[in-house]
Amino acid sequence: MAQFWKPETEKPRLVEDEDGGVIFLSSSYSSSSSGYGYVSIEKQRQRLPVYKYRTAILYLVESHATTIVVGETGSGKTTQIPQFLKEAGWADSGRVIACTQPRRLAVQAVASRVAEEMGVKLGEEVGYTIRFEDISNPDLTRIKFLTDGVLLREMMDDPLLTKYSVIMVDEAHERSISTDIVLGLLKKIQKRRPELRLIISSATIEAKSMSNFFLSSKRRQALEGEELRPRLEPAILSVEGRGFNVQIHYVEDPVRDYVQAAVSTVLLINDKEPPGDILVFLTGQDDIDAAIKLLTEEARSNGKNSSGLIILPLYSGLTRAEQDLIFSPTPKGKRKVVISTNIAETSLTLEGIVYVVDSGFSKQRFYNPISDIENLVVAPISKASARQRAGRAGRLRPGMCYRLYTEEYFLNEMSVQGIPEIQRSNLVSCVIQLKALGIDNILGFDWPASPSPESMIRALEVLFSLGVLDDDAKLTSPVGFQVAEIPLEPMIAKMILSSNELGCSDEIITIAAVLSIQSIWFSARGAQKELDEAKLRFAAAEGDHVTFLNIYKGFLQSGRSSKWCHKNFINYHAMKKVMEIREQLKRIALRLGIVLKSCETDMQLVRKAVTAGFFANACRLEAYSHGGMYKTIRGSQEVYIHPSSVLFRVNPKCVIYHSLVSTDRQYMRNVISIDPSWLTEVAPHFYQQQRHNPTIH
Ligand code: CDP
Ligand code: MG
């Protein structure tokens, strides 16, 4: 039986399952979003806490070079401040107001919300740009949302960002690697462009330390005698929120399985507590999908008490239609359960949440410069994050937060703040971007938080081996400049450049496009066996990269059919995205003088090109224990092939991985087999110490 969320046909549609119990996302809903019917948009705007500060914000921006705005999530910072600025004339005479976000999904969501509030078509007066998706118009767009990564890219063409009158660096508390680089660079730009205004906004921020960062003693001196300049001392404005009390519950004993515990808690809330939506914080697509499956099964066997649960995932990579569902009002008599990554912690506000279930974990990037290993780890969140998560429950009325950890743990073991991403990341991409912007003294760069010198040195070494930097640590010509120009990680960029020489650029560009999205497989949700069978149909002995080529071919041969995708457990939306990205990469390649050429069936060339980019991730098989134990050739770190790889249990002697994820062990995702002799061929410097190691040759 089909059921509609709201009567209007253009609203996303939900379909009830056969038992009339839990509601699923239908795959055939429309993707448009339209206005909210309840209160007029203007009224909604006026009710936001930030509205009362409109005059104050505009005054501070007028009179100060930098304004720091701290305000609770949902108070209206992101959606309202750019509109205030526009109304006050900051976007007149062709100027543009920019607002950055660390997350792509947040960029899309807030841009469409603001376009809706202003009653304009998204992509015209209000637009957005994320990597590989530019929904803006250089002539029309006055308010532009973009990721901080894209703003960094824009600096390569326009180092002083001259088209922007105000740049709002939003979600600064997240301290993403790009946010930190952007802050350092904007501080430099401000010296050259006194008319530029910065707004730094965040939910919780050490406002004072951010303010100190923007005020060095030198700048104070520069101010003297220049009355016309805006005040250089940053202004700090705190927006008083209107959050309600949130009652916190802790578990008595530590939980062993937070997915199971989260599901049980949701069912308990649904049984015992009055209406109100539930927001569950897990860590990533895998455990979110697992939780949805469990919840669906348990709710169904629970009987009628659980009918009316609307279960929705929230993670990056959702389609527009799926995003729209998250923001749609919950129909009467239903209860929405949104199971999210920490994107809902501060980047996005969902109306109607009364209950929060906090697993206490998030996926975080960690890098060890000694072993040169970077991976995504499910790690405990900080107290600051835990408070933010709880706060999501108190927007409408007093709420409740169920923490799946003990009070003792919260008080005594959780760290107070998270560590800025720049201090726990591989810096290869960061270094090349700064080099491309002409910043040569990277160690001496004015960072909001300094990265470790070891990580810097590692990055310089990899870039040197890639042929991107020369002996003086300057970008090489043309390779270094070309790699910097490709908006992908330097290793992928190098792989593309090498494919040109090897004559397999057509194949490598497809691979690069697939690697730049999360997954092209449809999440299994209880159909693991069928998914594995589908994978076997495309599996290539060489590994995952070549498997992607088989899938791409099959997709083209099917006439880009969604049915074909469905039958083969391939995510149709992901494939469409791959096609789009591939087109863009083709254009970039052409600009760099690369003409697409296919190597037809010679997969050795493809493997060599992958090696030329990813030699640093080479591993060799050490033992057959635990399904095949590998060690990284450079750092001797123990790693295993991820079960999702077509090479799982195949265990070639020598492989290269694209990325690592860490759970009980370090797992390699997207793996290809190579001939070890290629390593010394493509990266002699990098593998020098290994010269005497017999397994390399
Ligand atoms: O940036 P901040 O967290 O301070 O708030 P915001 O993102 O500007 O959101 C202000 C309000 O707009 C929220 O309370 C939401 O109700 C609403 N909003 C929405 O309904 N849909 C969106 N996509 C974004 C915001
Ligand atoms: Mg915001």
Q: Per-residue pLDDT tens for 492-510?
A: 999 999 999 999 999 999 9
DSSP assignment of 580-617: HHHHHHHHHHHHTTPPP---TT-HHHHHHHHHHHHGGG
| 310 Cα to the center of ligand 1, angstroms | 21
In this structure, are residues 464 and 481 in contact, taking their beta carbons and an 8 Å threshold? no
Distance between start and end Cα atoms, the chain: 64
In this structure, are residues 384 and 646 in contact, taking their beta carbons and an 8 Å threshold? no
Res. 405: pLDDT tops 50: yes
In this structure, are residues 390 and 401 in contact, taking their beta carbons and an 8 Å threshold? yes
Residues 6+ positions from 106 with CB-CB distance below 8 Å: 78, 171, 343, 347, 348
Residue 107 Cβ < 6 Å to ligand 1: no
Residue 308 Cβ < 6 Å to ligand 1: no
Res. 185: pLDDT tops 60: yes
Question: Which mutation among 104, 122, 349 tests ligand 1's pocket best, with the greatest number of atoms within 8 A of CB?
Answer: 349
In this structure, are residues 491 and 555 in contact, taking their beta carbons and an 8 Å threshold? no
| 144 Cα to the center of ligand 2, angstroms | 14
| 52 Cα to the center of ligand 1, angstroms | 16
Residue 71 Cβ < 6 Å to ligand 1: yes
Give the pLDDT confidence score for residue 205 in this predicted structure.
Answer: 62
β-partners of residue 2 are: 15
β-partners of residue 24 are: 15
Indicate if the alpha-carbon torsion angle 470, 475, 476, 482 is positive or negative.
positive
In this structure, are residues 338 and 314 in contact, taking their beta carbons and an 8 Å threshold? yes
Q: What percent of the chain has pLDDT over 70?
A: 90
Residue 314 Cβ < 6 Å to ligand 1: no
Give the pLDDT confidence score for residue 30 in this predicted structure.
Answer: 26
Confidence of residue 615 (pLDDT cuts 50, 70, 90): very high
Res. 530: pLDDT tops 90: no
Residue 147 Cβ < 6 Å to ligand 1: no
Residue 36 Cβ < 6 Å to ligand 1: no
Residues 6+ positions from 18 with CB-CB distance below 8 Å: none
Residue 436 Cβ < 6 Å to ligand 1: no
* Residues 231, 60: Cα–Cα separation, whole Å: 10
| 685 Cα to the center of ligand 2, angstroms | 46
Nearest ligand 1 atom to the CA of 239 is 4
* Residues 2, 431: Cα–Cα separation, whole Å: 53
Residues 6+ positions from 43 with CB-CB distance below 8 Å: none
DSSP assignment of 41-67: HHHHHHHSGGGGGHHHHHHHHHHBSEE
| 349 Cα to the center of ligand 1, angstroms | 5
Give the pLDDT confidence score for residue 305 in this predicted structure.
Answer: 56
Give the pLDDT confidence score for residue 322 in this predicted structure.
Answer: 84
Q: Is the peptide bond before 478 cis (omega within 30 degrees of 0)?
A: yes
Q: Please report which residue ranges of 36-176 form alpha helices under DSSP H.
A: 41-47, 54-63, 77-87, 104-118, 148-157
Residue 79 Cβ < 6 Å to ligand 1: yes
Res. 13: pLDDT tops 50: no
Residue 96 Cβ < 6 Å to ligand 1: no
The one-letter amino acid code at 354 reads V
CATH 1.10.10.2130 for domain 422-483, yes or no, is yes
In this structure, are residues 665 and 676 in contact, taking their beta carbons and an 8 Å threshold? no
Which ligand number lies closest to the CA of residue 388?
1
β-partners of residue 167 are: 98, 198
Residue 78 Cβ < 6 Å to ligand 1: yes
* Residues 339, 312: Cα–Cα separation, whole Å: 6
Q: Per-residue pLDDT tens for 142-163?
A: 999 999 999 999 999 999 999 9
* Residues 508, 498: Cα–Cα separation, whole Å: 9
Give the pLDDT confidence score for residue 58 in this predicted structure.
Answer: 97
Confidence of residue 223 (pLDDT cuts 50, 70, 90): low
| 170 Cα to the center of ligand 2, angstroms | 7
CATH number of 246-419: 3.40.50.300
Half-sphere exposure of 635 (CA within 13 A, CB side): 15
* Residues 165, 98: Cα–Cα separation, whole Å: 8
Give the pLDDT confidence score for residue 358 in this predicted structure.
Answer: 98
In this structure, are residues 520 and 548 in contact, taking their beta carbons and an 8 Å threshold? yes
Residue 173 Cβ < 6 Å to ligand 1: no
Q: Per-residue pLDDT tens for 261-293?
A: 999 999 999 999 999 999 999 999 889 989 998
Confidence of residue 107 (pLDDT cuts 50, 70, 90): very high
Q: Whose CA is nearest to atom 13 of ligand 1?
A: 74
Q: What is the mean predicted confidence (pLDDT) over 552-574?
A: 95
Q: Per-residue pLDDT tens for 413-472?
A: 999 988 999 999 999 999 999 999 999 888 889 998 899 999 999 999 999 999 999 999
Which ligand number lies closest to the CA of residue 111?
1
* Mean pLDDT score of the chain: 87
Q: Whose CA is nearest to atom 8 of ligand 1?
A: 76
Residue 48 Cβ < 6 Å to ligand 1: yes
Looking at the chain, the number of H-run helices and the number of E-run strands are: 25, 24
| 48 Cα to the center of ligand 1, angstroms | 9
In this structure, are residues 70 and 50 in contact, taking their beta carbons and an 8 Å threshold? no
Q: Rounded to 5 degrees, what angle do the CA atoms 447, 450, 453 make?
A: 130
| 328 Cα to the center of ligand 2, angstroms | 18
Half-sphere exposure of 618 (CA within 13 A, CB side): 28
Confidence of residue 218 (pLDDT cuts 50, 70, 90): low
Topology alike, domains 15-25+40-215+228-239 and 246-419 = yes
Give the pLDDT confidence score for residue 28 in this predicted structure.
Answer: 27
| 76 Cα to the center of ligand 1, angstroms | 6
3-state secondary structure of 408: helix
3-state secondary structure of 364: strand
In this structure, are residues 23 and 337 in contact, taking their beta carbons and an 8 Å threshold? no
C-alpha dihedral, 349 to 354 to 360 to 366, nearest 10°: -10
Residues 6+ positions from 609 with CB-CB distance below 8 Å: 495, 496, 498, 499, 502, 504, 508
| 537 Cα to the center of ligand 2, angstroms | 44
Give the pLDDT confidence score for residue 40 in this predicted structure.
Answer: 81
Which residue do the tokens 């594995």 mark? 532
Which residue do the tokens 């970077």 mark? 374
Which ligand number lies closest to the CA of residue 108?
1
Give the pLDDT confidence score for residue 229 in this predicted structure.
Answer: 63
* Residues 81, 239: Cα–Cα separation, whole Å: 12
* Residues 106, 316: Cα–Cα separation, whole Å: 9
| 174 Cα to the center of ligand 2, angstroms | 11
Q: What is the mean predicted confidence (pLDDT) over 68-93?
A: 95
Which residue do the tokens 């299994």 mark? 524
Residue 462 Cβ < 6 Å to ligand 1: no
| Tokens encoding 65 | 């070079």
In this structure, are residues 27 and 8 in contact, taking their beta carbons and an 8 Å threshold? no
Residue 83 Cβ < 6 Å to ligand 1: no
Q: Whose CA is nearest to atom 7 of ligand 1?
A: 78
Confidence of residue 38 (pLDDT cuts 50, 70, 90): low
* Residues 197, 343: Cα–Cα separation, whole Å: 27
Which of 23-37, 127-141, 602-616 is predicted with the least confidence, judged by mean pLDDT?
23-37
Residue 243 Cβ < 6 Å to ligand 1: no
In this structure, are residues 382 and 137 in contact, taking their beta carbons and an 8 Å threshold? no
| 396 Cα to the center of ligand 1, angstroms | 13
* Residues 389, 282: Cα–Cα separation, whole Å: 11
Q: Per-residue pLDDT tens for 229-263?
A: 677 788 889 887 767 899 999 999 999 999 999 99
Res. 116: pLDDT tops 60: yes
The one-letter amino acid code at 478 reads P
Q: What is the mean predicted confidence (pLDDT) over 675-693?
A: 79
> pTM of the prediction?
0.87
Nearest ligand 1 atom to the CA of 80 is 8
Domain limits of the chain?
15-25+40-215+228-239, 246-419, 422-483, 486-682
Res. 573: pLDDT tops 60: yes
Which ligand number lies closest to the CA of residue 75?
1
Res. 597: pLDDT tops 80: yes
Give the pLDDT confidence score for residue 526 in this predicted structure.
Answer: 64
Residue 573 Cβ < 6 Å to ligand 1: no
| 322 Cα to the center of ligand 2, angstroms | 20
Give the pLDDT confidence score for residue 532 in this predicted structure.
Answer: 86
Confidence of residue 351 (pLDDT cuts 50, 70, 90): confident
| 233 Cα to the center of ligand 1, angstroms | 29
Residue 204 Cβ < 6 Å to ligand 1: no
Question: Which mutation among 38, 42, 112, 113 tests ligand 1's pocket best, with the greatest number of atoms within 8 A of CB?
Answer: 113
In this structure, are residues 427 and 181 in contact, taking their beta carbons and an 8 Å threshold? no
15-25+40-215+228-239 topology per CATH? Rossmann fold (3.40.50)
Residue 531 Cβ < 6 Å to ligand 1: no
